[in-house]
Structure 1
Amino acid sequence: MQTEARVGVVVEGGGLNTPSVVVEPPRQRQIDSASQLLAGGVAGAVSKTCTAPLARLTILFQIQGMHTDISGLKKADIWHEASRIVREEGVRAFWKGNLVTIAHRLPYSSISFYAFERYKNMLQVICGVENQGESVSADLCIRLLGGGLAGVTAASATYPLDLVRTRLAAQRNVIYYRGIWHALRTISKEERIRGLYKGLGATLLGVGPNLAISFSVYDTGRSYWHFHRPEDSPVLVSLACGSLSGIVASTVVYPLDLVRRRMQVEGSAGRARVYKRGILDAVRHITRTEGVRGLYRGILPEYYKVVPSVGIVFMTYEKVKQFLAEAIPPS
């Protein structure tokens, strides 16, 4: 397998110096666009399937307090709610909505990974940065902006599936939506096409910074790690840096994610609307009725989920890219 050294940043005496040079981790032979899309899609599907139980717990805690049928969650902790799901709905209920999650995550992850690489390359050309690491500040800005643009692109293209996934996962004992297509048809009929994009504003406000932070922390952390410990396993590096990037990103944008979930659920199954005037109204209502802590309701299962989830998605992406680079002969 052909590899090449990459220019990066070097750390001397604990500080960042510019200009300077470091050998970044070797990269496998470049793969074509279709293979990049495939690698991203597989990574997202594997990650979401592995962490689906924690994802459903996060959603249930995020929407608690909105309606009387789920107010019983207020005094429950993660383990009590997990036990309730097993007792009342069965173990398979942890993966409720996972099919639509995969249907959403395949294109979402494909587009986000692919778009990040393309936006990053485009921004390097625009900024006149030929090699990563030539300028620390420019490199970080490119990663942040590229990740943000990739997130907005992927979220906009796949949003209806994300909304359907949330509503399927939020169902408890009463089944209103019987599957992906039934949910899409029902929402379109009862709430019109606009209903499929309910909460999109909060999503775009959150997903841009989320992927911007996630991709930039991952890219920067991996480069730093490989410079200091080049002999460490790439799998370990991907898991560790991916987990760190997930924690940082989730902490920063979690309130917007909570608002997004609640806006996606309101008005479903004949429920009354709670947040009638958009994102700011939702934030004001939550802080007034539940306090500032209400904006971080469910963050504990989110942390439990995001550490393996983001770690797995980056690790799987790197391994699938490596496999495809070795399996597909150079043109």
Structure 2
Amino acid sequence: MVASKQLHSQRCGGPPPQLHHHRPQLGTVPHLLAGGVAGAVSKTCTAPLARLTILFQVQGMHSDVATMRKTSIWREASRIVYEEGFRAFWKGNLVTIAHRLPYSSISFYTYERYKNLLQMIPGLDRNGGFGADVGVRLIGGGLSGITAASMTYPLDLVRTRLAAQTNTAYYRGISHALYAICRDEGVKGLYKGLGATLLGVGPSIAISFCVYETLRSHWQIERPYDSPVLISLACGITFPLDLVRRRMQLEGAAGRARVYQTGLFGTFGHIVRTESLRGLYRGILPEYCKVVPSVGIVFMTYETLKSILTELASDD
């Protein structure tokens, strides 16, 4: 039957019909593995820019803004190389990988699960049209980001504190940092800045997943450069929340006095009063430089690993 259809098609001048092979669904463990490795690879590749962002974000926290040194990306990068060595660009990267492996695994995996659950709601199913698809991707992405951030937050806080250390190292590694924070600040100290993190990561990851999936589904081939641009826009919108959470994560670090006493909104107000609105955007330039390759690497690695693992599963 297939041969006769192909022969008829060729006689009529048309292409032979395509035979569609069912590709096996990726299991839970390979799905988690692909997401985790993708996040770790992306973070390692962009670690120097990430560290520069953190160092800029925490400027002014314990310094007089009027006398704070004028600096630039090049000047700060040169200082790191001169004072700490080139390897210092990856300071805290081990805990970054330890954080990113579960974080990315959870976010990619739960995104697919949340999306499937949302599509069971009338009006948001696969026949709901483009608007329903976008809504599912936004809500699913936001929920997956919040879930992943909540479950891995202590490692994120430790990463920030290790990366913010310059010449004087109070924390000697991941385990020592976890122990010292619990000893000095209590277990609650491991969750400083969680509120700001969830407020920032929800819309950021929602936009990231939504833009990526929409472009991939519709016009990624024709307009391959739109995704990083829109992700960069999301970065700019949520960046003040990221800066506030970094500073809240460093509250009381290494026995220093507390600077912000009034929670999330009080911290926003304190920064605006003492450093002006520009203070909320310290470090946004290296963040913009980082976000485009970071997003590209993570999704490229994720799709490549998914493809490889799916092929391996089909061979079995």
TM-score, length-normalised on structure 2?
Answer: 0.89
Q: Which residue of 2 aligns with 1:282?
A: 267
1:174 aligns with 2:168: yes
Deviations 1:265-287 (A, max 9, x none): 12101111111111100100111
Q: 1:47 maps to which residue?
A: 42
In the alignment, the residues of structure 1 paired with residue 26 and residue 94 of structure 2 have an alpha-carbon distance, to the nearest angstrom, of: 28
Q: Is the 1:58–1:298 contact (alpha carbons within 8 Å) kept by the matching residues of 2?
A: yes
Give structure 2 stretches of 5+ with no counterpart: 1-20
Which residue does the alignment assign to 1:13? none
Residues 97-134 of structure 1: per-residue CA shift (max 9 Å, x gap): 00000000000000000011110111011235442x74
- Partner SS for 1:125: coil
Name the counterpart of 2:187: 193
Q: Provide the residue aligned with 1:321 in structure 2.
A: 306
Match of 1:56 in 2: 51
1:298 aligned residue: 283
Identical amino acids, percent of aligned pairs: 65
Match of 2:253 among 265, 268, 271: 268
CA contact (8 A) 1:64 1:74 kept: no
1:152 matched to 2:121 = no
Shift of the 116–245 alpha-carbon distance from structure 1 to 2, 3 Å rule, reads: farther
CA spacing shift, 1:317–1:242, aligned 2, 3 Å: farther
* Distance in 1, Cα, partners of 2:226 & 2:150: 27
- The residue correspondences of 1:250-261 to structure 2 (distance < 5 A) are 250-261=235-246
- Give the Cα–Cα distance (whole angstroms) in 2 for the partners of residues 31 and 73 of structure 1: 52
Which deviates further from its counterpart, 143-152 or 240-249? Answer: 240-249
Q: Is contact 1:62-1:297 (8 Å) kept?
A: yes
Give 1:241 deviation, angstroms: 5.4
| Number of matched pairs | 296
C-alpha separation in 2, matches of 1:42 and 1:245: 24
Select 2:75's aligned residue among 80, 87, 91.
80
Instruction: Show the counterpart of 2:18.
Output: none
Matched, 1:312 2:297: yes
Greater C-alpha Rg: 2
Question: Structure 2 vs 1, CA of residues 100 and 201 (structure 1 numbering), >3 Å: closer, same or farther?
Answer: same
Q: Give the conservation status (yes or no) of the 8 Å contact 2:138–2:207.
A: yes
Per the alignment, residue 21 of structure 1 pairs with none
Q: CA deviation at 1:70?
A: 10
Q: Deviations over 1:47-103 (max 9, x none)?
A: 000000000000000000001399986400000000000000000000000000000
Uncovered stretches (5+) of structure 1, i.e. residues with no partner: 1-25
- After superposition, residues 101-116 of structure 1 pair within 5 angstroms as 101-116=96-111
Give the deviation of 1:27 after TM superposition.
10
Q: Give the RMSD, CA atoms, in angstroms.
A: 2.1
Matched with 1:9 is none
Mapped to 2, the partners of 1:264 and 1:130 lie a distance apart of 40
Query: Residues 182 and 49 from structure 1, CA distance in 2 versus in 1: closer, same or farther, beyond 3 angstroms?
Result: same
Alpha-carbon shift at residue 218 of structure 1 (Å): 1.1
Separation in 1, partners of 2:135, 2:73: 38
